[in-house]
Chain A
Amino acid sequence: NSKVIQTPRYLVKGQGQKAKMRCIPEKGHPVVFWYQQNKNNEFKFLINFQNQEVLQQIDMTEKRFSAECPSNSPCSLEIQSSEAGDSALYLCASSLSQANTEVFFGKGTRLTVV
């Protein structure tokens, strides 16, 4: 069973609405990743954190998403104004270090933008 906990499992939003999802990484894992998996199984890296600090993010995330990993609280990813193309499975993953170590995925939040 996955030790990375994501909520909610399913999210339905109208276009233009905010969509927020949360992730509790595996205990002891300081690095958290967010990926978007679309209906064609394409994985798009969105952003990652080490503890509370953003390590890397793509342009789209910088412009339209808001993400944070506060200490002692779940990490979150929020789309400020949802678009139809944002409908996808959002996967959170955590690992012990930034590179070349196994990442462990949560079950994902499936977002549908209607």
Chain B
Amino acid sequence: QQKVQQSPESLIVPEGGMASLNCTSSDRNVDYFWWYRQHSGKSPKMLMSIFSNGEKEEGRFTVHLNKASLHTSLHIRDSQPSDSALYLCAASRQGGRALIFGTGTTVSVSP
């Protein structure tokens, strides 16, 4: 049973547009969420992490977290072709031993 669900599975965004990705955990014990980006043929690299309710912004990327619903979202504004990648959401918890990943959202930015 997948404990981290991501939606949509794939997304096509025009260059300069906004991409919005969603992630929900079914494990009520998680307290940290991570967003990783994996370009084709490359290893995943962390984009952002969040553990407090609210919003966190870094450049063109904004992450929201609602701890009550265990829902996080990633928003990419002014999307660039280089943002085309697989975006993975992961959750972790104190006392847990490993990140639990979702199956990702594939983002394609069309020029």
The chain A residues found within 8 Å of chain B, CB to CB, are 2, 4, 33, 35, 40-43, 45, 48, 55-56, 91, 98-100, 102-108
Contact = CB atoms under 8 A, between A and B. Distances in A.
A100 B32 contact: yes
A100 B31 contact: yes
Nearest to B90: A43
B1 to A, nearest CB: 12
A105 B86 contact: no
A56 B97 contact: yes
What DSSP secondary structure best describes chain B's contact surface? Answer: loop
Given A91-B44, A105-B45, A99 B104 contact: no
Nearest to A110: B41
Contacts of B93: 99-100
A2 B34 CA distance: 18
B69 interface: no
A39 B98 CA distance: 21
18 contacts: A33-B99, A40-B103, A41-B88, A41-B103, A41-B104, A45-B98, A91-B44, A98-B96, A99-B93, A99-B95, A99-B96, A100-B31, A100-B32, A102-B46, A103-B46, A105-B43, A105-B44, A107-B43
B94 interface: yes
Nearest to A57: B97
What DSSP secondary structure best describes chain A's contact surface? Answer: loop
Interface string B32-59: 1010000000111110010100000000
A76 to B, nearest CB: 18
Nearest to B93: A99
B101 A43 contact: yes
Nearest to B32: A100
A56 B100 CA distance: 13
Given A48-B97, A99-B95, A99-B96, A42 B103 contact: yes
